[in-house]
Amino acid sequence: MGLGAQITTDSVQIPATDVAFDMVSLPGGSYDMGEAGRTVTVSAFSISAHEVTHEAYRIFQERENDTPVAAVDNWDADAVSRPSPPYLDFTYGMGTRGGYPQVNTTQQAALRYCEWLYDKTGRFFRLPTEAEWEYACLAGEEPDPADLHDLAWLYENGEETYHKVGEKEPNAWGLYDMLGNVSEWTLDEYYDDYADRIGEEADPWMRPDGKHSRTVRGGSFDTYTDEAGCRTREKSSPRWQARDPQIPKSKWWNVDSPFLGFRIVSPEKQPSEEEVRAFFAESIVD
């Protein structure tokens, strides 16, 4: 996958704010996914160079930070479903300092954010599928284990906490913190036999059929170096909400996942508005 010359980056700004995402455009291609080497094909897509930060998420989270400006007609900022007020500071004091990844959010909260971004910008964003995430992380090949501490905040060098995005070196395609710092949500339902289930399907997506469990990728500051890699998979757990005092548990917050964030993707072939609404209706499971 010698795609270096074809990689481009563009900036997408949230209207009426100074917040922008650097989106790295990757051409489609085929690669050997997972330890079993299942050949998978993905279509062209863009992926954010960094994990979504606290300040980018707070525009959505807190109504007073949002504005009526949007790319869709008749959009009402007051009608948006927004995260419930957290009953403690899930950023542990880092949320006001700038540059740190958004953490402790549920997968549903991350997808609601993507839906809001579509309304604000007119561009369809979502979480990456497992296949897209691994393709972007590999950037042609698994990173050399000797280089991991240059690329990632892991258990041995992470000081038991997450760090500002982009402080480590990017991978070959200009993507930061794909490994380490905080783990990242993907779009897929978790299956142990994922490779067998996807078969030869292009752009595979294991659609959700319940609230748990989803596949998490990338590892975090709490991941040992010898366990880190682009092909390492993790299963989300209801335990991440176990201490949530709300009944039922929050749709927005995971009390015990300060190690988990997300980044966004945007397919090159943009869906229609009808297709966008159908996607969010299918992917967001209450």
How many helices (H) and strands (E) the chain has is answered by 6, 10
Look at residue 258 in the predicted model and tell me its pLDDT.
93
**Closest to 120 (Cα-Cα) out of 161, 189, 181, 60:** 60
Look at residue 2 in the predicted model and tell me its pLDDT.
46
Look at residue 9 in the predicted model and tell me its pLDDT.
95
Tokens representing 171?
């991978």
Tokens representing 41?
């094909």
> Could you tell me which residues are beta bridge partners of residue 33?
38
Residue-level pLDDT, tens digit, the chain, 286 residues: 445 447 899 999 999 999 999 999 999 999 999 888 889 999 999 999 999 999 999 999 999 999 999 998 889 999 999 999 887 777 776 766 789 999 999 999 999 999 999 999 999 999 999 999 999 999 999 999 999 999 999 999 999 999 999 999 999 999 999 999 999 999 999 999 998 898 888 999 999 988 789 999 999 999 999 999 999 999 999 899 888 877 788 899 998 999 999 999 999 999 999 999 999 999 998 7
Sorted by sequence, the CB contacts under 8 Å of residue 149 that are 6+ apart come out as 156, 157, 225
Strands (E) in 110-204, as ranges, are 183-189
For each of the domains in the chain, give its residue range(s) and CATH number, in order of start. 4-283 (3.90.1580.10)
pTM of the model: 0.95
For tokens 């995005």, name the residue: 165
Residues 114 and 110: their CA atoms lie apart, in Å, by 6
Look at residue 249 in the predicted model and tell me its pLDDT.
85
